[in-house]
Structure 1
């Protein structure tokens, strides 16, 4: 075989390999295309570990699997710390981050965001018998628990004289409130509401109005614009064919706004 022929064959192999992985997923001969997605599985009802099956489940998990199916990909969803999601995208260790991540200008400088798929906001949890905190203005000088790396943490740090304690998960922040270690928890509204439903509202309550209006987005690496476009297209299609609404109602009990 001549050098020219060898070079031609190698070039063909390279083109084939790039075609299999160009969208950010991975594929081997004879296998389904795979997208590696991740989120922190302590953010019920968006992503959490089912106590009975030990499987990762939640609204985000169902949604990204439906999006992957619409795109013709198999989605492998893994648990990863929230503050490690963007670095994992940047390093190429994952293709997608979907974890109740609020779209912010700061984050948008580092990743591509899909169209918004959920509208949220920040609310306050306090102990059931605490009537001293009725809204965000009453948090001045208080001890506040938040999840590290979240918009709840960012906003809590703006409260005058507040002592903000950061925890690895929303569940740990709520446990600290139950133990009496803090006066309040500032977190995303659906997470707080889900906790109150699951606990029967026995130990805590939500107070005040929603502080912010936030949009959750699906994040991809800044350089992977093709994948972001395909996710947007699939999300639009799921909203049109009713699958998005079906998943939404399953986890929140109401139709999307």
Structure 2
């Protein structure tokens, strides 16, 4: 084989490898941790992950050109997964708190809500406001910002804090085993409507909160977060965030 043929063969093979490389190149992936058990933000229906947060992330994926890989786990384990690098962020209506800001960077907020107490329907225990919680049994879910708020209140008001991992929290309020519990107002109001829960709001929110996506403070994560922020800003500007909000809540929960 003469030199010309060798050179031509080399060019053809090089072009083939480049073409295959481009066609076979995989998109970058953002790994998003979620519980799949926080209706209507993240839930499973017919073995398919659905919800407000899921729709938001699928739209972020389209706008950033990245694949979104959801990894499900119990809420109490999500931040552990984040810390050891099994996921890039958490999407489970995570509230920005001073304590979390010490450890994580947060995207711009995508949801605004309130930390709200709920009691059994008809309020049989006669709790009119947080001033009536002294000596009561107050429930909350482990690892949430609501646990942090409840524990802070208990130091001032001397009530018993009952911490649940998941499951029977609402049922125990309905049955009177605990007197009240704190959860996100928007989420629980939707659950009341969907499942005819025998609970009701207690007074007004104790604290107004902003939800965002946490990232471990590393340079590579900062790049991802910047791209997420850009996508969220565009989604807010063109009305996409409000559209997704209306789909699940019938109201805009994305504006302060």
Bin for the TM-score computed over the shorter chain: 0.7 to 0.9
Larger Rg: 2
Does residue 75 of structure 1 match 2:71? no
State the Cα distance separating 1:172 from its structure 2 match: 2.9
1:121 deviates by: 1.2
Unaligned runs of 5+ in 2: 1-22
How well do the aligned residues superpose, as a CA RMSD in angstroms? 1.8
Q: In structure 2, the residue corresponding to 1:130 is in which secondary structure? A: coil
* Distance (whole Å) between structure 2 residues aligned to residue 73 and residue 64 of structure 1: 10
**Distance between the aligned counterparts of 2:118 and 2:52, measured in 1?**
22
Q: 1:99 offset after TM fit, Å? A: 0.7
Q: CA deviation at 1:185?
A: 1.4
Instruction: State the Cα distance separating 1:216 from its structure 2 match.
Output: 0.2
For 1:57-76, what aligned pairs fall within 5 Å after superposition? Answer: 57-76=50-69
Paired residue for 1:155?
149
Structure 1 alignment gaps of length 5 or more: 1-27
> How high is the TM-score relative to the length of structure 1?
0.82
Name the CA distance, whole Å, in 2 between partners of 1:105 and 1:129. Answer: 36
- Give the number of equivalent residue pairs: 226
Q: 2:207 is paired with a residue of what secondary structure?
A: coil
TM-score, normalization by structure 2: 0.83
Give the equivalent residue in structure 2 for 1:14. Answer: none
SS at match of 1:49: strand
Deviation at 1:37, TM superposition (A): 0.4
Give me the whole-angstrom Cα distance separating, in 2, the residues matched to 1:180 and 1:56.
33
Q: Is the 8 A contact 1:145 1:174 kept in 2?
A: no
1:54 offset after TM fit, Å?
A: 2.2
Q: How does 1:122-161 map to 2 (within 5 A)?
A: 122-131=115-124, 132-157=126-151, 158-159=153-154, 160-161=157-158
Deviation at 1:32, TM superposition (A): 2.8
* Contact 1:146–1:166 under 8 Å retained in 2: yes
- On the 8 A contact 1:127/1:184 being kept in 2, the answer is yes
User: Shift in Å at residue 43 of structure 1?
Assistant: 1.4
